[in-house]
Structures are given as C-alpha cells and as structure tokens.
Amino acid sequence: MDSPFRWFEDQLQRLEEDGLRRTRRSVTSTGHGWCRIDGHSLCDFASNDYLGLAADPRLRKAAHDAVDDVGTGARASPLVSGRTDWHDQLEKRLARFEEAEAALLFPTGYAANVGTIAALVDEQDVVLTDRLNHASLIDGCRLSGARMRVIRHADIEQYERELKKAADARHRLIVTDGVFSMDGDLAPLVELAELAERFDAWLLVDEAHGTGVFGHHGRGVCELRGIHSPGLIRVGTLSKAVGAQGGFVVGPQSLIDWLWNRARTQVFSTALAPPCCAAALRAIDIIEQTPEMRIRLHHRCDDVRARLIDAGLPVPENATGPIIPVVIGDPQKTVRAAQVLFEDGFFVAAIRPPTVPRNTARLRLSLSLAHSDDDVDALTSTLIDVARTETP
Ligand code: PMP
C-alpha cells in the first residue's frame, strides 16, 4: 500500500524539478557579520542585522542579566502570568522611542502583523493591501475575514478607486510595508496617509525593515516621511536592526488596550522571552543615541548600489537602504549564483517563488554595519562577476 504521505513526496519532487525545493542549512556558529555553515566560514550578507547589534557585547550583557534575573522563558502568555517587569519596561521604552502613547509586545513581528490586522477588521470591513506586502500582512488580512482588495504595487489611483467603493464598509484599513522586504523600495506613505485621512481609513505600516534604519531617530519610514496621521498604526519587529527578537505595535492607548484584549497571537501565545526584551531595551538606547550609525549604513548602501548599477546589474531603481536585490529571474540560475558566492565565502540569499512573483527570482543582499569595508568591497566585486555570468 502507498504511504499516506506519498502525495507530499510527489509534490516535493515537483518542487525539486522546478528548482524551488528548499534545503535546510545549519549555521554552526555566528558572530559580527559572519557565520559558519557546512564547515565554510562566510561573510553573512543574508541576515537582517543591519546595524550589527545582534552580536554586540552590550546586548549580550543585557540578555545575560535578564537570564540571571528571571530565567530564559516567559513561562506563560502575557495575559496569564508571562508578563514581567522586562516586558513592562520595554513597552514603555518603545512607546517613548516611537513617540506614541503606548506599545504592545508580540512574540514575533509575524505574530504582531497577523494578530493586529485580525483584531482590527472583520467581514463588515474592507482591507486594502499592496500586492508585494509581506506574507504576515497578507495572512492577517486573510484571517480577519474582511473584504480584501489587493492593490497593484504602490498604485495610488487603485487605492483611491477602492476606497471610494468601500464607502459603505464599517471600517477601511490600508495595510502596507514601509520598506518592501524583497525589493527594498519604500511605500508611498505621504500619498497613503492623505488618502487614509480623506476616506476615514486606518493606515497600518509595517516598519519591520525601517526601524533603526530610516528616519533621523531610527523610528522608520513614517519618521523619514513625516507621517503623523490620526489613524496611523505602526508595527515593528525587534528581530532585524534591533538585533533581538519579538514584534510590537505602537499607537494610541485605546488601540493598544484593544489589542491586549483581542489580538489572539499575543493573548494565546507565550510572552516574549525576557532576555530578548532586555537586549531590545539596550538596542533602542543605542539606536536613539547614535544617528551616525544610520548615516554610515546609508553611505555604504548607496555606494554598493551605485557600483552594481554602474556595472549593469539588474537592481530595481527604487531600491533604497540595506536591502539590495539583483533580479536574475530564473530560480535555477539564481540558486547557482548564490552557490558560487557561497563557495567564494559570501552568504547571499537566493529568493525564489512563492516568496517573490514568478520569473523574478533574485539574489537579495542585506548590508550591515557588522561588515568591514574590505568585506563589502570584496562581495561587490565578486557579485558583479557572478551575476554577469547568470544574467543575459
Ligand atoms: N514584516 C516584514 C516586512 C518582514 O520582512 C518580516 C520578517 N521576514 C516580518 C514582518 C516578520 O518579522 P519577524 O521575523 O520578527 O517575525
């Protein structure tokens, strides 16, 4: 008799044939801008540790202190008994940092997006979501049950048309990434904020790749663009530039209290591990007090992007900041290019469908302050050689 799981074997075989099967890689050790995988020491250009804080001794020490204080895990959901003084301090600190009335922590950025959207809207409402939004935003929209309008990437006219049609809905919610994670471009937030006010909609911005990276104080793309709409809801993650783990939402107290009551991904999930809270607390101080880190990071990104474009590599022209995609198209060629880079000592992500649309497989470079100038220079030169052989 066939195995009851035969169907999965067939499907995996098809993924393999299409160059879309994902393999597991174990990082056996990691440090400031490097990692070790399958016995190779690699410069790590595949992580989101944009400011190089994940291995920073100050964050390590903070996390150790929290372990000594309360142990490793939070033991229960925040609503039951998992919420410690570390959570309280971090929520207050995040609210102050983001100049918001209040903040709420979630176990991850993914959980923050899913739980927040699903708690905000339901069948009586309309949610408008950019076609290139992160999976967590899409999943939140789907889970909410709200009428979902998928908008062509950054198409303001389509947003406007759909908002007009949604006049009869109880609530309208616009959902967008601040920085699009696979393309590195920024959302048209000024226009979206104007539409949100005109059509009495909430505007939810996922600042996952914006926090710590954009805006003078590192509050993200909303700060960069000067967005202060009354209906603004900002979601962030502590797992990228902040160098720790966890998600958060900032906004008015009433919104935060509602999410505390209704956001199922934090009500029914164990609270964030206290050492992550402690590390994030330390990171927020550093991010706020050292704007020169962001200036240095952006100089580095502008320089690398210009070199790749000058060399004729297919880098989308709207990309800005530390995410630099090189769109190769074919998944197999993309994986091959990533493998050559790997053998040369550089870890660069090969991103394939379904993470990105068909025929847009790409190498996705994440720059960080953890790298040395020499590492960045060597990666850029090698990438130019490798991508030229894989792009027509
Ligand atoms: N939003 C975006 C745009 C992301 O890229 C990610 C992480 N890949 C998330 C949310 C989820 O954040 P976390 O990793 O903290 O779950």
Q: Which of 110, 141, 209 to mutate to test the pocket of ligand 1 (most atoms within 8 A of CB)?
A: 110
**Which is the catalytic residue, given 47, 181, 366, 368?**
181
Q: Which amino acids bring their CB within 6 angstroms of ligand 1?
A: 108-110, 113, 134, 136, 177, 181, 206, 208-209, 237, 239, 247
Distance 33 CA to ligand 1 centre (A): 20
Helix axis angle for 253-262 and 109-120, nearest 10°, is 100
361 has which bridge partners? 329
Reference 266, options 76, 74, 73, 78; nearest CA is: 78
Matching residue, tokens 């616009």: 174
The whole-number average pLDDT for the span 313-319 is 93
Residue spans of alpha helices (H) in 121-269: 135-144, 156-165, 189-198, 221-225, 253-262, 264-267
The whole-number average pLDDT for the span 193-204 is 98
pTM of this prediction? 0.95
ipTM of the complex: 0.99
Q: What is the pLDDT of residues 80-138, one digit of tens each?
A: 999 999 999 999 999 999 999 999 999 999 999 999 999 999 999 999 999 999 999 99
Neighbours of 58 (CB within 10 A): 14
Which atom in ligand 1 lies closest to the alpha carbon of residue 180?
A: 3
The whole-number average pLDDT for the span 186-191 is 98
Q: How confident is the model at residue 388 (pLDDT cuts 50, 70, 90)?
A: confident
C-alpha count within 13 angstroms, C-beta hemisphere, residue 52: 18
Residue spans of alpha helices (H) in the chain: 6-17, 57-70, 85-97, 109-120, 135-144, 156-165, 189-198, 221-225, 253-262, 264-267, 274-289, 291-310, 331-343, 373-390
C-alpha span between 246 and 284 (Å, rounded): 13
Domains of the chain as residue ranges with CATH: 24-50+291-390 (3.90.1150.10), 57-289 (3.40.640.10)
pLDDT at 355 over 80: yes
333 is catalytic: no
Q: What is the pLDDT of residues 220-230, one digit of tens each?
A: 999 999 999 99
The whole-number average pLDDT for the span 345-358 is 92
Neighbours of 84 (CB within 10 A): 20
Per-residue three-class SS string for 171-203: CEEEEEECECCCCCCECCHHHHHHHHHHCCCEE
The whole-number average pLDDT for the span 71-78 is 94
**Which is the catalytic residue, given 87, 134, 240, 333?**
240
CB 93 within 8 A of CB 281: yes
Q: What is the pLDDT of residues 220-261, one digit of tens each?
A: 999 999 999 999 999 999 999 999 999 999 999 999 999 999
165 is catalytic: no
**Which is the catalytic residue, given 209, 239, 333, 371?**
209
Q: Which two tokens stand for residue 350?
A: 């090969």
181 is catalytic: yes
